[in-house]
């Protein structure tokens, strides 16, 4: 290992302090450490899940698509920490173990999204949401899969999520939980105006297309809950599996089902 990138939560003095400690730790090992996104052997994210989503976006923008993203190790200082799994007290042990024995890597699929007036292309880890950027009003849209008409829906919006994103907004809107290893995406309507529109799971080797029929200039496509793309004229959103994967570093003592139980109280009663 020769080069490490460190991302810290914005305006978080605790995260900044830990970042400086980690930088000093690597430099003592003779490994270059930087706070600037770019090509590296490992990326470390200190903060919460939002910080990790922002870091992945920065890496995708800084590294050419034909090049793999570095493995990402998340150190949790936020309120949930579903993706940032290591805790602030265990980062040194986790890094030492990884340097000595190799890091445990879990591949996470991502979305490639084409949207907006200029048909811009974006890479998304969790989800893409199509709705209105105004007061709560429904939109009328059609969903297609591999060119085949699926359904017409009138709802507040629609969420297209990866298995990683299935425990985020999609879950809150009534969507299912997908294990990260499942090669599928979830299409979840947001507050549909009928009892017959329900979330649907589709294979991730197909193309999902959302055509908004409502004529309005306030349609917005939200990417990972952090950035928005306005679609006032071109109200067509195309989503498919990205050529890129996120390589998420997992602590060797934590499994996906551990996280479901500990973070989301999965299976608990009362």
**Residue 243 tokens, joined:** 């050529």
CA 196 to chain centre: 28
Cα 146 from Cα 233, distance rounded (Å)? 23
Cα 148 from Cα 202, distance rounded (Å)? 13
Residue 147 DSSP code: T
Of the residues 21, 41, 49, 156, only one is catalytic, namely: 49
Cα 162 from Cα 226, distance rounded (Å)? 16
Structural contact between residues 62 and 37, judged by C-beta atoms closer than 8 angstroms: yes
Is 21 one of the catalytic residues? Answer: no
Structural contact between residues 126 and 82, judged by C-beta atoms closer than 8 angstroms: no
Structural contact between residues 73 and 249, judged by C-beta atoms closer than 8 angstroms: yes
What amino acid positions are annotated as catalytic residues?
Answer: 49
């Amino acid at each position: 290992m020769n080069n490490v990138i460190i991302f810290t939560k914005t305006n978080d003095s605790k995260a900044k302090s830990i970042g400086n400690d980690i930088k000093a730790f690597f430099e003592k090992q003779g490994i270059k450490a930087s706070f600037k996104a770019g090509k590296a052997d490992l990326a470390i994210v200190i903060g919460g899940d939002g910080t990790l989503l922002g870091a992945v976006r920065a890496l995708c923008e800084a590294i050419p698509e034909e090049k793999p993203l570095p493995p990402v190790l998340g150190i949790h200082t936020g309120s949930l920490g579903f993706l940032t799994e290591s805790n602030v007290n265990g980062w040194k042990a986790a890094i030492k173990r990884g340097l000595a024995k190799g890091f445990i890597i879990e591949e996470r699929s991502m979305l490639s999204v084409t949207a907006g007036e200029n048909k811009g292309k974006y890479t998304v880890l969790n989800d893409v949401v199509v709705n209105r950027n105004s007061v709560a009003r429904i939109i009328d849209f059609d969903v297609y899969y591999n060119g085949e008409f699926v359904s017409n829906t009138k709802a507040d919006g629609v969420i297209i999520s990866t298995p990683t994103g299935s425990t985020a907004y999609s879950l809150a809107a009534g969507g299912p939980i997908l294990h990260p290893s499942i090669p599928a995406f979830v299409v979840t309507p947001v507050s549909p105006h009928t009892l017959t529109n329900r979330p649907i799971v589709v294979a991730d080797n197909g193309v999902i297309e959302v055509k908004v029929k409502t004529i309005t200039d306030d349609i917005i496509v939200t990417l990972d809950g952090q950035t928005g793309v306005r679609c006032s004229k071109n109200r067509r959103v195309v989503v498919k599996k990205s050529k890129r994967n996120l390589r998420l570093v997992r602590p060797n003592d934590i499994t996906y089902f551990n996280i479901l139980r500990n973070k989301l109280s999965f299976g608990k009663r009362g």
